[in-house]
Amino acid sequence: MHTAYHPGSRAVQERVGVRDLADHVGRSITPGIRPVAAAFLEAQPMLVLGTADAQGRVGAGLLTGAPGFVRATGPRTVSVAAALPEGVPDGAPVGTLALDPRTRRRMRLNGTARRSARGFTIEAEQVFSNCPKYLQRREWYGSEPPAPGAAAERHGETLTPDQIRRIRAADTFFLATSAPDGLDAGHRGGNPGFVRVDAPGELSWPDYSGNAMFLTLGNLEADGRAGLLFLDWETGLTLALSGRAHTEYGPDGRVTRFRIERTTENPSGSPLRWSPPEYSPSNPPTPPTL
């Protein structure tokens, strides 16, 4: 077995018939941070972080800062000038995704996090880049501090009508998943409407063709816990969902279904302000809502 994959990913690769291709692509996964990867990290104002709290709940969150707040401090070590989310134990596995909408580039770095004087460090175990498929291009306009008297976080167990509207209009979300060998943070993108709200507590989305690794679907095959993060790119509002997901395989393709257990809406979740999107030419047409 290639060390990049656990049995969950192997099961999906075998089912889809891409094991040989996955072995070839998997050679790009290394524990080391190359200079080009270090330079990419240091240029980013945001980092998606996948974690599991003390209760085992998987979540995806957003960390932001001036470029340089994330930087490689060694061939396998990254320093992040931000706090680990409350409830995440020191020494816990984490998954991260650094994404630059300006250039449609992204890279994933998974490893073990430990608190430090500046925030926390990550000892890297898996580092690799992904292709630009389904990434929408956006320009970064800058940052705005939270307005005085900004609304507090709002928690729930199902979606509100406004949250349903936001999700149906989304062209991007981030997805944290868990596996026997750690956490992973990934990206899903498409034209607005690619995420369906099937009920106030249930979402679904198509699984578009990718790099044949099937890391995310493999994690869901092995575990099922997942966290989603939706971002309003123009206002900074974030909507984090935690729950469980599974993938269904049919003649028309693969569909992932997610059942919500907890919602967290933060009107001031991100200070970053981005332009409206230039949609990826890879995005498939969104089927009409029935």
pLDDT digits (tens, 9 = 90+) for 47-82: 999 999 988 999 999 999 999 999 999 999 999 999
More confident residue, 96 or 30: 96
pLDDT at 3: 58
Beta-bridge mates of residue 246: 257
Domains of the chain: 7-137+154-274 (2.30.110.10)
What are the pLDDT digits (tens) for 200-255?
A: 999 999 999 878 778 888 899 989 999 999 999 999 999 999 999 999 999 889 99
Rounded Cα–Cα distance for residues 82 and 121 (Å): 10
The pLDDT confidence band at residue 289, using thresholds 50, 70 and 90, is low
Beta-bridge mates of residue 16: none
Rounded Cα–Cα distance for residues 209 and 283 (Å): 11
Greatest C-alpha distance within the chain: 55
pLDDT at 152: 85
Q: Whole-prediction pTM value? A: 0.94
pLDDT > 90: percent of the chain: 75
How many Cα neighbours within 13 Å face the side chain of 102?
11
